Amino acid sequence: MTILPQSPVSPQITGHHQNPVIHFRPVSSFDQLRDELIDIIENDRLTTVFQPIIDLMTGKVYAYEALCRIKGDTRFENIEALFQSARKHNLTASLEKCCRERALEAMGKFNPECPVALNVCPSVLMMADPHTHIPYLYEELIRMRDRVIIELTERFYIQDYDRLVETVEFFRRKGFKIALDDLGAGFTRLKLLSQIQPNIIKIDRFLITDIHKSTKKQMLVDAIVSFCRKMSSLVVAEGIESADELDTVMNMKIDLAQGFYLCRPSETLQACAPAVQSWIEKKVREMSDPVETSLRANAIGGLMNPARPIDVSSILKSVMENFSGEEKISALPVVEGNRPVGIIQKNTMYYKLGQPNGYALFSNKPVQRIMERALVFESNTPLEEVARTVLKRSQKEVYDAVIVVKNGAYAGIVEIHQLLHGITEQKIQLAMQANPLTGLPGNNLIEEQIVRHLNQNRIFAVLYIDLDHFKPFNDNFGFFKGDQAIRFLAGLIKDAVARWDETGGFVGHVGGDDFVAVCRAGEVECLCDSIISNFDRGIRELHDPVTIGQGYYISRNRSGQTEQFPLLSVSIAVVTSENRRFESYGHLVSVASEVKKKVKTLPGSRYYIDTRQQ
């Protein structure tokens, strides 16, 4: 009777074939995983699920990410373990190809209206035909370039950065969108970010998890978002798993979000959870309130310095070290967790330590011994309100710095001289050529903004926005309604651009019903969609019920003849410096005029983006 070993075995035959000796060796876990990996690839044991990426300006799906899952029982703990095994056995390309085939099959089945992000390892992206040097992946995806986003994942060390940059640029020139996954997860991704310009950048879930509880995470993510804005890249917050995390990233003006709280991966195409989408829409309305918009545009948060705070448990000796690294700071905030509890003024500290035996008495004492009560303001507090509160303090305290918070969490400090300078600059800017109807800057400041962007070789977009058939509307409904329509459009554009490009957005009023916006260029169609959808929804209130019911009104055209005109609509002509270089302000205006003529031929509220390269 033969007793088989309890662990799996495989035979190995040695000796002469007439009298073979059969040895048995246990099959290692390594071998088992290799065999299962091959079985998964060869026997179609992968399936695709989709997780939506949600636009935080609308609550709707911006794109889907295709994720692969193993069908049936498996020894692999998760998909990451599967790819790690593929790397060890030099099967990454085969595994990724299998995943893509399943994803493309699912896309063919569901035909999603939004693009789908496909995860691609940089080494696979660079694999090319040895004769033509054309990447294999290009031949595979070229017919779907408008429907897919190439999402670069970092599954192992990148050896040839120069070649990767060239390959990414090749795909970009061919019309593909590029996303960079898990920014913040390692130095390699930061190096990659510095060498390519992704259309979309996904912030690693580590930085998003419990971000509402961590000032440091908020400061780091805020810096990443600011950097991405300057590169005209959209930002995705990955791993949203709670309402608090979602609220925080929306307050930080992050463009897109993804995570279980919004929608779990599914084998079918799903939208954002209805309750969450309703909450996002409500949040956007609150943030778009005209009063709130005005506060944000002239708020203390725009002046703050994110100085490193002092923990309440620190001793004064460590505070001295912090001040030595912040020579231009006159005060440092004291926090408990991420909530400010006081402030230490540099002059007060050195006065205490400078007294006889002061250093011996105070250097090892807790900061509570000399910290003072601080004025704390939410970041959206208007500068004028801050100034009024500061001036009510005693003469001794009037020049002390103030603390800025976002939703109660520490964000930065503002020196009083910064506050005074900010108010002065604000008044000067508002006084210069402000349109009496909208308060927006006029033609000279518009030109200065565009020329500055051109001189700095920045990638930016210019939107020329105006109302369609405004004169007959004005003639039919009266000048008061006409002024209301212009003010409504002005406020709408200001709010949309402020949300879209918090750091560099600009809106000017050329005159009449003509406006100009200057902002970041990446995915600018999202901004146009937001302006148009909000305009079409709100402009109905300026028409009477009869006009709304029949969908038109009768007025005289420019030739004096009676004509039917539809409800007011808006046209947006867009030019960007992404694909072409403008030699001068006049050159840009000339091109924009051509685009404006084009969009004016389209019915209803429309936008048209110039994609020509010369």
Closest of 414, 419, 410, 413 to residue 384, by C-alpha: 419
Q: What are phi and psi of 468, to 5 degrees?
A: -95, 135
Question: So what's the architecture of 434-609 in CATH?
Answer: 2-Layer Sandwich (3.30)
The residue to which tokens 């000048």 are assigned = 479
Residue type (1 letter), 324: S
DSSP single-letter state for residue 332: E
The answer to whether 465 and 517 are in contact (CB under 8 A) is yes
Give residue 530's region: left, alpha or beta (phi > 0; psi -120 to 50): alpha
CB atoms within 10 A of CB 246: 26
pLDDT for the residue numbered 39: 85
Closest of 155, 147, 150 to residue 135, by C-alpha: 150
Closest of 269, 380, 277, 286 to residue 56, by C-alpha: 277
Task: Please give the C-alpha separations between residue 597 and each of 370, 462, 473, 574, 592, in angstroms, as whole numbers.
Answer: 66, 15, 20, 12, 9
Two tokens at 279? 């909450």
What is the separation of C-alpha 391 from the centre of its chain, rounded to a whole number of angstroms? 38
CB atoms within 10 A of CB 388: 10
pLDDT for the residue numbered 429: 62
From 2.40.440.10, 3.40.30.10, 3.10.580.10, 3.30.420.40, which CATH number describes the 300-423 domain?
3.10.580.10
Residue type (1 letter), 559: S
Name the pairing type of β-strands 61-70 and 116-120.
Answer: parallel
Q: Name the packing angle between helices 161-173 and 187-195 (round to 10°).
A: 50
The answer to whether 233 and 196 are in contact (CB under 8 A) is no
**Which residues contact residue 548 at a Cβ distance below 8 angstroms, ignoring those fewer than 6 apart?**
540, 567
Domain boundaries, given as residue ranges, for the chain: 52-67+118-288, 300-423, 434-609
Two tokens at 388? 């009024």
pLDDT for the residue numbered 156: 55
Considering only CA atoms, give the Rg of the chain. Answer: 30
52-67+118-288 is classed CATH 3.40.980.10: no
Q: 3-state class of 366 per DSSP?
A: strand
Task: Please give the C-alpha separations between residue 306 and each of 402, 404, 418, in angstroms, as whole numbers.
Answer: 12, 9, 14
Q: Looking at beta carbons, which pairs linking 480-487 to residues 24 or more positions away fall under 8 Å?
A: 481/542, 483/437, 484/542, 485/513, 485/539, 485/542, 485/568, 486/437, 486/438, 486/512, 486/513, 487/437, 487/438
Helix boundaries (H) for 511-568: 524-538, 545-550
Bridge partners of 14, per DSSP, are 21
The answer to whether 465 and 515 are in contact (CB under 8 A) is yes
pLDDT < 50 stretches in the chain: 1-27, 289-295
The answer to whether 256 and 55 are in contact (CB under 8 A) is yes
DSSP single-letter state for residue 579: S
Could you write out the three-class secondary structure of 368-417?
Answer: HHCCECCCEEECCCEHHHHHHHHHCCCCCCCCCCEEEEECCEEEEEECHH
